[in-house]
Amino acid sequence: LTRKPVGVKLGEIRQWDEYWAPMLLRRSGERPGPGADAKAGGGSWGADKGYTGPMGMFTGSLFYRLMPSLIENVWRGQDRLTTLTQGEKLLRQMWNKPVQHGVFVSRKQAALMQEKGWKERSGGYLERALTIFRETYNRMFEHYSEAAADIMHNLAGLTTDGHSLITVPFVAGNTLYKVMTRLPRLMKHDTPEGRVLTVYAHRTGKQPFEGDGDSVYARTLAMAMLVGFSSPGPDGVWHDGWAEGPKIAKLHVRFEYKDGGLDLYFNPNDFFRVLPNGKLRQGPIVREIANTIERMRADTEFQEHYKAEVEEAKPEDLKKKKAEPKSATTAKAKPTTKTGGKS
């Protein structure tokens, strides 16, 4: 059976799962209150004159670049670039010149950045981002030498790596969805039970959001570790790297928040079970994610929304627009004074 391959970005699935699907439940009356919107950045998209959601998304995009840059400098032993002060400096630079530092900005966000309302709120959101960074940094590097040694010896990948893209396959009917995924930071640790693969992802909330524990984002990150770095062995279990490599004991997803972290653990067989004949049987988690993608792609209203959200801005979109000169016809006429004679 030949299936039609269709590319899907993980960000599209996140927008559906974290914002759109909860909004549909509220619209139908199945979920009261605005709580689900806080998951997408705090408050509804229309709240605070439409700045809250885009500001939250911009902050998340910034951390997606900031933290891997910091970890890479730790791994390279560039200690002078890994201090809290240097991290804060880089955050401010990314905030003020995002495109130049590789931070994703949509054209919709770029247009908002030209508005007075965005500029009035930017300072407050920058301070909030700095607070999240400080709390996270101090927790991660409470004992710097130990944390740095762990990164140097056990780091396996960063989203800034040129080869970090992992394509995760999901089959739904006659369609093969290929979800393009990047792991923000991948670590490998050996335990008595086997090797544990861990992916770290940074969230911009104060505490875990409702539903983060069983989110599509968390499960897709775990599956990406399995697909991208593991192989099934003749013994019927998953191994790191190749079929004779270390046995995979757990897939660990760690979400970092301002006030702490959320640890989620998955078994490799939750995604694919290795059959005696060497073939794989997909588990219930894989089928659930495939069904989510099907619903997402069938919603034309969401597709229009997402298309507008991901159109990437160009550097010129973020340049300050010059005020248009007044035309001669609109210029205020100077008063004239008559001399001599009767009026």
Helices (H), the chain: 10-15, 21-27, 35-38, 52-75, 84-96, 107-113, 116-140, 144-154, 216-229, 284-298, 300-310
**Taking residues 242-254, what's their average pLDDT?**
96
Beta strands 155-158 and 194-202 are: unpaired
> pTM of this prediction?
0.84
Residues 313-340: what's their mean pLDDT?
Answer: 57
198-247 pLDDT per residue, tens? 999 998 877 776 667 678 999 999 999 999 999 999 999 999 999 999 99
Q: Is the pLDDT of residue 83 over 80?
A: yes
Highest mean pLDDT among 69-73, 260-264, 338-342: 69-73
pLDDT digits (tens, 9 = 90+) for 298-322: 999 999 989 888 888 877 777 766 5
What pLDDT does 19 receive?
A: 85
Confidence (pLDDT) at 35? 45
Residue 339's φ and ψ, nearest 5 degrees, are -125, 135
Residue 328 reports pLDDT greater than 70 = no
Q: pLDDT tens digits for 19-44?
A: 898 888 888 777 665 544 444 434 43
| pLDDT for the residue 315 | 75
Coil/strand/helix, residue 301? helix
Residue 341 in this model has a pLDDT that exceeds 50 = no
Cβ within 8 Å of residue 53, ≥6 positions away: 19, 40, 41, 42, 43, 44, 45, 47
- Mean pLDDT over each residue of the chain, to the nearest integer: 86
**Which tens digits make up the pLDDT trace of 126-171?**
999 999 999 999 999 999 999 999 999 999 999 988 777 899 999 8
Most confident range, picked from 160-169, 184-193, 328-337: 184-193
